[in-house]
Chains A and B, each alone.
Chain A
Amino acid sequence: MRTITAQDTPIAPGRTLRSVRSRIIFTVMLFGLAFAGLSVRVVDLGLSAEASAWSAARSGAADMLPARADIVDRNGTLLATDLKTISISANPQKVQHSGEAAQQLAQVLGGVDPAVLEHRLSSTSSFAWIKRKVTPEEQHAVNQLGIPGITFRDEIQRLYPQGSLTAHVVGYNSIDNEGLSGLERAFDEELRDRAADNEGPLRLALDMRVQHAMHEELGAAMRQFNAAGAAGIVMDARTSQVVALVSLPDFDPNDPGSAAADRQYMNRASQGVYEMGSTFKTYTMALALEHGVASMDDAYDATHPIQISRFTIRDDHPKARWLNLPEIFMYSSNIGTARIVADAGNGLQKDFMQTLGLLNRPDFELPETGTPMVPENWRNVQSMTVSYGYGIAVSGLQVANSIAALVNGGTLHRPTLLLNPDARDDISRQVISAETSEQVQALMRLVVEKGTGRNADAPGYLVGGKTGTAEKSTYGGYNRDALVTSFVAAFPIDDPQYVVFVMLDEPKGNESTYGFAGAGWTAAPIVRGLVPRIAPLLGVAPSKDDSHPMTRELVRMITPEVRS
């Protein structure tokens, strides 16, 4: 740099003061301009910050909290809700020491593999997730690390306060909050719309207290009989609203993991279809009584097994005599039932099954609703096996719903999980007469008083029901050791308000059941334990009567020798 001097330019003293003054003023103006410029910049930044905060607040109402409406049970208990959480991401280009950063992050974040993290952080992209939906503690810890290039963004976490209790009903979402299963999937759009329009929660017919009781009783039975699975439904007999729906084993929807891919977590109550066995005899009885095929005192020959084409139809505990209708039902005679349906004709039987909604996939809210497996050809042999519950596989939901129609005076409703279902979906129709319905009630009560369902006789409540024990079909035949046992019940049977369906998948007999694994030993006791727990919750008073009036008549029709 050159040396600059003022020596060669002598300044006249008079000019100096003026020029120095004007230069001071010039300097002041420069500084004034600069500070004014910075002030303008500050105000400008402030306005843009306010503008972006304003637009964030505006759009936030629509696409941030809550993104999906809450789901609640009939009493308002929270089953699913949105929670604001933080997700941590990074701009890998701005992270300087990816190895060190990955180590530090993995130390404060649970469930993060430092090697994977380092790989992500050393990528050339400008965005990488570190961990999504972290706790406030984790966010604080990462913030304390002060690693450049790490950013936090608000995200929504779907939370299921009831955990596994509602896993199969409410379902769960993907990490991007799209419904993957259950009602979350069925009402994916509806839940978003409700949240956007502020329409309040989706209210279910479910009652968490009943759901919990069912969950507990089923779980206990499953453990007791070492079963592979269990399912249970409590349904309002007069509206077909589902008050409880449980499938075991279940999982935590807050952390579903690979539940969707794992067969053992299938919804056994509505998706799984099973050959139900003797519960189907209820339909055959209703069919015969409704269409005048037989009356209560008509007797059928159950002396010998029936040979039809290559099948032999036998009874589990053969009486080897003629049996009337109440006897066929209470002893669960396959031969007798087959003879009744032979009288009715297979066309009438198929129509009746169709009317009860047993041959088609039910119109139900859950995506996990199974399609029944029905005989391709409905000839005499199929007709006979269907009459006692073989050769046809339906879901527990279908059984519960059709039994509700048979005992409630004869009206079939659409099963629903919603407290206020759309009235347009109502398909209610009379499927049997009130008289037939009363006869079905009486027969079901007879089973519990005198027949295979005695273990379901809950003290104080008039339970009526029917056992169903089916061998699981395997390649080339049925497996005597792999059973599906079920019990379908209604209470109080003289004025049915609720239908209960319980099922155990492959229960094993134990000492308390003398090695027996049939429905009377394994499924019926669940109902005896459950009904006294849920009846008070559901507002059902204990019965003063100890029997159904018509059942008393039926008891008199039973051949005395058997009673001893």
Chain B
Amino acid sequence: MTTLAARTDMSIVGRWWRTVDRWLLAALAVLMLSGALFAMAASPAVAERIGLSSMYFVRRQMMFLPLAGFVLVAFSMMDARTVRRAAVILFGVFFLLTGATLVFGAELNGAKRWLSVFGFALQPSEFLKPTLIVTCAWMFSEQFKNGSFPGNRIAAVLGLACIGFLIMQPDFGQSFLIFLVWSALFFMAGLPVSVIALLVVAGIVTVIAAYTYLPHVASRIDRFLDPSSGDTYQTETAMNAFQAGGFFGRGPGEGMVKRALPDAHTDFIFAVIGEEFGLFACLGLVLLFGFIVIRGYLLLLREEDPFVYLSVGGLLGLFGIQALINIGVNLNVLPAKGMTLPFISYGGSSLLAMAMAMGMVLALTRRRRLDRPAHYGESWAGGAAS
């Protein structure tokens, strides 16, 4: 009887609960809650070291977490059209704000990436990434529907503009990430292999150019390939943390190596988790990220809307690549590159932006057909093929 009642419950929340992918939702909830736990392990040491009260970062993260949860659920309740509109509007806003950082931004470690908003340091580039992806996905999908619409061209221009802004900040990590996701978007959009090859070549050329003309990029890559060539303190300390933790960890709060690890609460939080909670916890985290990405992509296989395909594909790509790079650097299989671990690393902007992105993924992967099948039937030309 209750089931029947639920089925007929057409309220927004009831419809959302019936159509949302609960596996994905549960995985994201676990990820966010474990992020709260890990923040308590990693942040106090850093806060004490830089002279803040030990719970400073923990308190701030705890403040952002409920907000992030709200953002995630709110976005996941939108329908595809609303998602698209919201993304495009937000893209416009954050595109301007990212531009504004170049003028008004607070300088930290030689880079202007933050804007001060109501006492909070806002990093617009975090929000720029997912909104750019959805906007580009929309452009691609419009070209699919109407070959004469210059969607691909517009997407290319928007992507290049964003990458340009980020290089000027300078933030090579973010620009490289956007380039990767943006290329993946092109790939999924069905571009011929020849064009993909061109993109790959362009990527390689960019990396070589960065290696040649940017000394700090060169030194990072050198140090990764040949640890004896310079200071590998961070990665070495991270390795020590994993060694100290073993499979089962030293136990929460028992970490010693974390105190000597710079950026323990952000870029190297994975190593802290390794020391205190053990490599089994790390393995669980890797599998959780993998599950979310793969589950999300598999949900796409039943979709027929190119916009949904591409935006979910791009957002999952952003989420997955960011996790892969962060964990890869921590495990010393990639050269050192500052990249936050989604939902786990400290940082309000990154947390809220990721919540928004995954909220959109949840929204776009809802079983729409049960809701309003008619509206989407028109959107994908491929139906005729099978």
Contacts and interface: CB of A to CB of B under 8 A. Distances in A.
Interface string B44-66: 01001100000000000000000
B306 A20 contact: yes
Contacts of A19: 190
A52 B243 CA distance: 8
Nearest to B149: A7
Given A17-B380, A94-B231, A144 B259 contact: yes
B290 A32 contact: yes
B327 A38 contact: yes
B187 A27 contact: yes
A175 interface: no
Nearest to A19: B190
B279 to A, nearest CB: 4
Contacts of A152: 256
Contacts of B192: 6, 9
A428 B359 CA distance: 94
Contacts of A13: 381-382, 384-385
A49 B243 contact: yes
B279 A32 contact: no
A411 B25 CA distance: 93
Contacts of B173: none
A429 interface: no
A146 B49 contact: yes
Contacts of B294: 28, 31-32, 35
Interface stretch (B8-16, B152-160, B363-371): B152-160
Interface in B285-326: 286-287, 289-290, 293-294, 297-298, 300-301, 304, 306, 309, 313, 317, 320, 324
B259 A94 contact: no
B139 to A, nearest CB: 11
Contacts of A23: 187-188, 190
A6 B152 contact: yes
A43 B246 contact: no
Nearest to A13: B381
Contact of A24 (B156, B188, B381): B188
B315 to A, nearest CB: 13
Nearest to A28: B297
Contact of A28 (B143, B147, B298): B298
The contact size tier of chain B is 35 or more
Interface string A1-24: 111111101110111111111011
B161 to A, nearest CB: 12
Contacts of B153: 3, 5, 7
Given A28-B297, A35-B289, A148-B260, A17 B385 contact: yes
B279 A31 contact: no
A181 to B, nearest CB: 37
B188 A38 contact: no
B92 interface: no
Interface of A is mostly: helix
Contact of B242 (A45, A144, A149): A45
A361 B237 CA distance: 58
A275 B150 CA distance: 115
Contacts of A52: 243
> Which of A18, A49, A94 has the most chain B CB atoms closer than 10 A to its own CB?
A49
Contacts of A10: 147
B245 interface: yes
B186 interface: yes
Contacts of B156: 3-5
A537 interface: no
Nearest to B153: A5
A244 to B, nearest CB: 46
Nearest to B232: A94
A535 to B, nearest CB: 55
Interface stretch (B110-118, B195-203, B348-356): B195-203
A552 interface: no
Contacts of A25: 301
B119 to A, nearest CB: 27
Contacts of B383: 17
B259 A146 contact: yes
A35 B282 CA distance: 12
B246 A2 contact: no
29 contacts: A3-B160, A4-B199, A7-B152, A7-B153, A9-B191, A13-B381, A13-B384, A14-B382, A14-B384, A16-B381, A17-B382, A21-B301, A24-B188, A31-B293, A31-B294, A36-B290, A38-B286, A39-B283, A42-B279, A42-B283, A45-B242, A46-B242, A46-B246, A48-B243, A50-B247, A53-B246, A143-B259, A144-B49, A146-B260
Given A16-B144, A19-B190, A24-B300, 9 more contacts: A2-B202, A27-B317, A35-B286, A38-B286, A39-B290, A45-B274, A45-B331, A46-B278, A48-B243
Interface of B: 45, 48-49, 143-144, 147, 150, 152-153, 156-157, 160, 184, 186-192, 195, 198-199, 202, 206, 231, 233, 237, 239, 242-247, 256, 259-260, 262, 274, 278-280, 282-283, 286-287, 289-290, 293-294, 297-298, 300-301, 304, 306, 309, 313, 317, 320, 324, 327-328, 331, 333, 380-386
